[in-house]
A = this chain, B = another copy of it.
């Protein structure tokens, strides 16, 4: 039995709590959150106790921590968890600062604990199936990747202010997909060009951010990638990618709540995509946390590590800079 402390009882903390609670061999022992009420409700629902982060670190029976607190707390909690000898599952990003993220990696290494970063898309049934077939060579050598990533609507200005900007906040996932799909053989980004616009809400421009972006990456091997994102899609959460290989194409479509198609005088109409990330990635979150404990059990390597977090962060920084300057970055 692995005992776990969960830090953060917000939206994403609740998802992980629910999945942790259903895992055989895992016990959600503690929940911590600055909002006592949130922590209390979540703890009660799954038979856990509310405690402080310090107390959780001090409890020798705790094997692992799940860091689901706000982004600005991640690197501090990773370092402290490492020192306390706890294994770590941490939501993305490691840190908005690349040097601090690198330092986290070093702390983890020094302590000899295991640390996994939550890039849940790698566990999505559709995306993972595409990655698996690509690895099996079903479409030959990968050549081009087109990533479409759109939210149903922009988050509140408050959120955007602390987000690090759209490239670090939203595209970090897409940039991890690029590395996963195009660079699994050691290839790396060699050239990146990004641009952005404000098309949905002028308030976003006032914050110095943008809501619509286009990023292009060329790898050392000459593979090409285009990412297009928007903070708003009238039809909902749009999460797709297509990878062209020398022998074919793998196209990842959205998931839908049902497979009903309605035929009437207006056309032939299927469901909109699953509403947002909690729905679309429900299976991915479950598979991700299962993978974390499976690896702890077997000693296998995590699919996503601090190094992946750092690498995606570097690309996000480069995209931010390129969009600002209007010029490409070479690595």
Chain A: residues with CB nearer than 8 A to chain B? Answer: 22, 24, 45, 125-126, 128-130, 133, 138-140, 143-144, 146, 148, 150, 191, 193, 195-200, 212-214, 216, 218, 222-226, 228, 230, 232-235, 238, 242, 244-255, 257-272, 326-328, 330
| B267 near A262: Cβ-Cβ < 8 Å | yes
| B234 near A216: Cβ-Cβ < 8 Å | no
| A228 near B146: Cβ-Cβ < 8 Å | yes
| B244 near A233: Cβ-Cβ < 8 Å | yes
Contacts of A232 in B (CB 8 A): 246
| A216 near B218: Cβ-Cβ < 8 Å | no
Given contacts A224-B228, A234-B249, A250-B263, 4 further A-B contacts (CB under 8 A): A129-B257, A199-B222, A214-B218, A234-B264
| B143 near A212: Cβ-Cβ < 8 Å | yes
Contacts of A213 in B (CB 8 A): 224
| A195 near B214: Cβ-Cβ < 8 Å | no
Sample 27 A-B pairs with CB under 8 A, ordered by A number.
Answer: A126-B258, A129-B260, A140-B234, A144-B212, A144-B228, A146-B148, A146-B226, A193-B195, A195-B216, A196-B224, A197-B222, A233-B263, A234-B247, A234-B248, A234-B265, A235-B265, A238-B249, A248-B265, A252-B259, A254-B259, A262-B267, A263-B272, A265-B272, A266-B269, A267-B271, A267-B272, A268-B270
With contacts A146-B148, A222-B198, A228-B226 taken as known, whether A260 is within 8 angstroms of B252 at the C-beta atoms is: yes
Please, how many angstroms separate the alpha-carbon atoms of A252 and B255 in the complex? 15
Q: Choose among A143, A150, A250, A262 the residue with the greatest number of B CB atoms under 10 Å from its CB.
A: A262
Distance of A271 from chain B, by nearest CB (Å): 6
Contacts of A263 in B (CB 8 A): 233-235, 238, 248-251, 272
Distance of A81 from chain B, by nearest CB (Å): 29
Distance of A188 from chain B, by nearest CB (Å): 15
